[in-house]
Amino acid sequence: MAKEPMNASDFDRLICTIRQETNSHERKLHYLYTSCGYFNAEQAARILYELPRPADKVAALRILEPRLCRMTCREARKIVEAVSIHNDRLIALDCVKRVLIDSQSTLGEEYSLSSMIYENDKSRARAIQQTVRSDVADQVAAGGHQGYAPFGTLYTQSRPLLFNLYGDIQKQTEEMPGHGRINILPTADPTVIPSLYTGHPSYAYPPDIAYADVRSYPGTSGFPAHITASSGYPGGAPPLGHHSGAPAPTGFQKLDEAHIAY
């Protein structure tokens, strides 16, 4: 959930309370500590300008650190420049570094370094901003070599980043584990319910064709045979002997035509 800054009326009331406190500097910090709400860059800078002592500014920065809204480096420069001592400006940058949204860009880094006076402070400010950068995880490791596993190498088969051989760099990044489209394995759909008994024939296969349907003899339609007047001759199974056969013999044509059972 994004933090919303304090509305203008409540913030003006807080500024008036801090400004009217002239007896104790600790009371000014107490009013800030007990206030409710979050602050943007402009509001935080105005609070720092109301505190005259440098030590109070640093204490106020520690109070404001968990209550700052998201801001750009250009907006955060107002908070850093509200501190007069150059060493304290590094503390101010350390307090606001976690809410910067463009600290990883070159322009945002230039805005952050522009508020520092000395070259040594600029180097230290760059080191402070490096603590919240995460651009290493967004790059494809170069290589393509086979590493020795006991050495604990992370990328033993990393992509060599040669786009002439392996395609676009962005496409290579999308193909890395943890990047790109998430592929989910398809779930199996059996379409038939398996049998309750293990010895039962599988429902997944159609029933086999009967033996008589596969090897039926000409002129028959199953067992027992039903002889009709229109049955052609010869028909039926081969004869079992000289005078008998099944189920329509071939040696007694007249008897078959007369439908005489023998």
Question: Could you report the per-residue pLDDT of 108-166, keeping only the tens digit for each?
Answer: 889 999 999 899 999 999 999 888 876 555 555 555 444 455 555 544 455 555 666 66
Q: Are residues 226 and 126 in the same domain?
A: no
The tokens describing 107, both together, are 């322009």
**152 within some domain:** no
**61 within some domain:** yes
**37 within some domain:** yes
Q: Please, what's the b/e burial string for 41-68 (b: 16 or more CB within 10 A of its CB; e: otherwise)?
A: bebbbbbbebbeeeebbbbbbeebbebb
Tally of domains within the chain: 2
pLDDT digits (tens, 9 = 90+) for 47-89: 999 999 999 999 999 999 999 999 999 999 999 999 989 899 9
Segments forming the whole domain that contains residue 39: 8-130
The tokens describing 128, both together, are 């402070």
**239 within some domain:** yes
Q: How far apart are CA 201 and CA 155, in angstroms?
A: 51
Q: Which of 84, 114, 130 is the last residue of a domain?
A: 130
Q: Which of 89, 106, 130 is the last residue of a domain?
A: 130
Residue 87, SS3 per DSSP: helix
Q: Which of 100, 130, 160 is the last residue of a domain?
A: 130
**146 within some domain:** no
Mean predicted confidence (pLDDT) in 165-174: 73
Length of the chain: 262
